[in-house]
A and B are shown apart, each in its own frame.
Chain A
Amino acid sequence: MEIINALIASMDWNIKNPEGVVKRYKSDTGKDVIGCFPEYCPEEIIHAAGMLPIGLWGGQTDIELSKAYLPAFACSLMQSCLEHGLGGRYDDLSAVLIPALCDTLICIGENWKVGVQQVQRISLVHPQNRKMEAGIQYLRSEYTRIKESLEKISGEPITDEAINISIEIYNEHRETMRRFVDVAACNPHIMVPLKRNIVIKSGYYMLKEDHTKLVNELIEEIGKVQVESKPYKRILLSGIMADSKVMLELLEDHQLAVVADDLAQESRQFRHDVPQGNDGLHRLAKYWSIFEGCSLAYAPDESRGDILLKDIKDKDIDAVIFCMMQFCDPEEYDYPLLKKRLDEAGIPSLFIEMDLQVSNTEQIRTRIQTFSEILSY
């Protein structure tokens, strides 16, 4: 267990010291660091430039400066991100990539351009008609523009070969993370919800090849541990993110094990691999066309519900917790239909509103406690 704890502690250091990560990377390599806004950015292109893509997923912070730009009903995650930007906490980044996956992200990108002029905004508008050839071609052109913006920053060309190598590194990381999720599911007594979250989240603050290495070591160590498991209820978390220490610890306290997730910050990032091919940018564009199961990727069919129900069946899930990012309309639209399908399948579910700014946890505590009691009947 000592090695496991040490590995997790080193991952956690990165999460807790993003500014340190950025400074260290820049001084060690002399290369740039690029911030990647939620939820989907072609990090492989940044990686291929020798730069470090770093995930910008908000975090708890007092909202002051962003009040000049956003009314109170703006998504809590985006309020945090803008607050950090306006407060100068991202000033060491050479640019931020802001995808326009929802109306709020569009507005954040436009406000950023005015309010955080010291950190260049690189835009990205994914196609929603993502499966048709015209959509794939269009996304390739967006990625080409992003590649050119990065080349301007570094002053060096990004070769197709480098992009393909980065894609392989990322695919290996995705495969490793899928494996980790399965190993964690089998060892909920070791990979308790908070630790599971730390392992996955830390991937946003490291080069993916380094993270893959650490996670592989961790998997190996977990295999060596002989601990008798307590009876756990098997939970699936759904939503944008479940990045709340309080909530994750409460799950552990109530014997609720996270054995799978449908979170944009977690499994949605590595459910699919970037498809094979020669043209790196085309491969990345194609990836978006095969990508499924997210409220932000157009799908008039029932694919997200299908993926959820398949996971529930395959992984023997007892219940689902919807971690609803406050004021996140894409997720809010998906919820009633998903809830209906779960009800029809007899799967209990709990709805928890995630507000990154709220530190009052009494409500979450009561709800999780009640839910765990219901599940234990």
Chain B
Amino acid sequence: MKSKLTSNERVSNLLKRSYDEAFEAKAKGQPVGWATSVFPQELPQAFGLKVCYPENHAAALAAKKQSLELCSVAEEIGYSMDVCAYARTNFGFLEKGGNDVLNIPFPDFLLCCNNICNQTIKWYENISRKLNIPLIMIDTPFNMEDEVSSERVDYMEGQMDEAIKQLEGISGKKLDPKRLEKVMEISVENGRLWKKAMDMTSANPSPMNGFDLFSYMAAIVCARGREETTLIFETLIEELKERINHGKTTFRSEEKYRIMMEGIPCWPHIGHKMKVLTKYGVNMTGSVYPDAWALEYEANDVRGMAKAYSLMFNNVNLKKMTQYRTNSLIKGKCDGAFYHMNRSCKLMSLLQYEMQRQIQAATGLPSASFDGDQADPRCFTKAQFETRIQALVEVMEERS
């Protein structure tokens, strides 16, 4: 019976299947795409096109200790260490012609949405130039105002129309509006279930090790419009309910402190980070990631979809960014906040000091920060990480 599989097994299976399908498509001569993590995947999926996610791939390569070598390859061809380490890992991967540890097929087209950051534009431009393949760009202008202006939505709608035309050319098929509607429906439902599951960490103690979120994140990034993903999150919600009822958790220690962790993990050191946090009984119960893919729009409303994608937590003003974090601290019943000053990510890092001040003022919760990088192992020191979490623990202890 299907239900015998755990949510974890289901994620692994789905990811493997996604990679296999991409390779199969490539072997059959079907076009395969590469997309940024919060691209409106509804569009390629409505055409049945297979897509891989370089950010997810780079994170996995980094966790498997592959990124340093790949970043070095990129640096040898002239990329500065200042360039995002996901991009450098990917450039190195392209330069080397693949990777034995974890491979994805090279792309025939690119899908870029800058709602996560603007370096993605430069990154994808360069892949497009290197491989001479088409790049479909969805530009979501940064929202300085609290609301997405109707002019911005008009612009994004125009781009969606253009993207559909480009995808018709790439796939050789006309868009089936019914199919798009169905994919939109599944995607919204999966986003809702993702958020619901991740919000269950608010239980005391949290039913899961906060870092489990990143395992499930792969599914919401790479397979947001698939029915298998619905099953994963339904299974996960059942498992979490079960654990909550029995006071159980996958956190391997007594949960003494609950924190929000800001930023992308340092993938090359993820094991060390987990070990240190576990040692001090610190669990991550707050994060802005639950909101990232919880996109709300009506199934047949392309304008609504455009607006939802534009409101990604990296694409909103400082006030809203602060609200997202403050809410996650409150919802996660957190005792403190721990900030990753991520060398790769300008957008997250160059607003972080002010965000930290405002969040501290709004919540009264203590915070600390550490230096690191999402994929370049050279920017992280184990000793600093531990010293900083110790300092935060001391303050949280005094307050408890």
Contact = CB atoms under 8 A, between A and B. Distances in A.
Q: Indicate whether A and B interact.
A: yes
B154 A103 contact: no
B223 interface: no
A332 B79 contact: yes
Contacts of A373: none
B367 to A, nearest CB: 15
B114 A128 contact: yes
Given A114-B318, A141-B151, A333-B125, A73 B135 contact: no
Contact of B141 (A125, A300, A333, A339): A125
Nearest to B350: A107
Interface stretch (A29-37, A64-72, A229-237): A64-72
Contacts of B78: 335-336, 339-340
Contacts of A126: 141
Interface stretch (A5-13, A132-140, A311-319, A356-364): A132-140
Interface in B113-129: 114, 117-119, 121-126, 128-129
A109 interface: yes
A300 B122 contact: no
Contacts of B142: 100, 106, 125
Interface in B85-119: 87, 114, 117-119
Nearest to B355: A110
Nearest to B139: A128
A134 B155 contact: yes
Most chain B beta-carbon neighbours within 10 Å: one of A135, A334, A336, A337? A336
A129 B162 contact: yes
Interface string A101-121: 011101111110111000000
B118 A102 contact: yes
B157 interface: yes
B266 to A, nearest CB: 16
Nearest to A107: B350
Contacts of A324: 80
Contact of A129 (B79, B84, B139, B152): B139
Given A71-B341, A127-B141, A299 B125 contact: yes
Contact of B118 (A103, A110, A113, A336): A103
Given A137-B155, A138-B152, A114 B129 contact: no
B363 to A, nearest CB: 18
A324 B152 CA distance: 33
Interface in B141-162: 141-142, 144, 149, 151-152, 154-155, 157-159, 162
A211 B353 CA distance: 41
B80 A332 contact: yes
A252 interface: no
A109 B121 contact: no
- Determine the main DSSP class of A at the interface with B: helix
Contacts of B254: none
Contact of B129 (A103, A137, A337): A337
A107 B346 contact: yes
Given A127-B141, A134-B158, A137-B155, A69 B122 contact: no
A301 B124 CA distance: 11
B121 A298 contact: yes
Contacts of B152: 138
A134 B159 contact: yes
Nearest to A134: B158
Interface in B310-356: 317-318, 341, 343, 346-347, 349-354
A126 to B, nearest CB: 8
A82 to B, nearest CB: 10
20 contacts: A70-B350, A71-B352, A100-B142, A103-B117, A107-B347, A110-B318, A110-B351, A114-B354, A126-B141, A127-B141, A127-B155, A135-B155, A137-B158, A298-B125, A298-B139, A300-B128, A324-B80, A329-B119, A330-B118, A335-B78
Interface of B: 77-80, 82-84, 87, 114, 117-119, 121-126, 128-130, 135, 137-139, 141-142, 144, 149, 151-152, 154-155, 157-159, 162, 317-318, 341, 343, 346-347, 349-354
Q: Which 4 A-B pairs have the closest CB atoms?
A: A134-B158, A336-B78, A107-B350, A138-B155
Interface of A: 68-71, 73-74, 100, 102-104, 106-111, 113-115, 123, 125-129, 132-135, 137-138, 141-142, 295, 298-302, 324, 327, 329-330, 332-337, 339-340
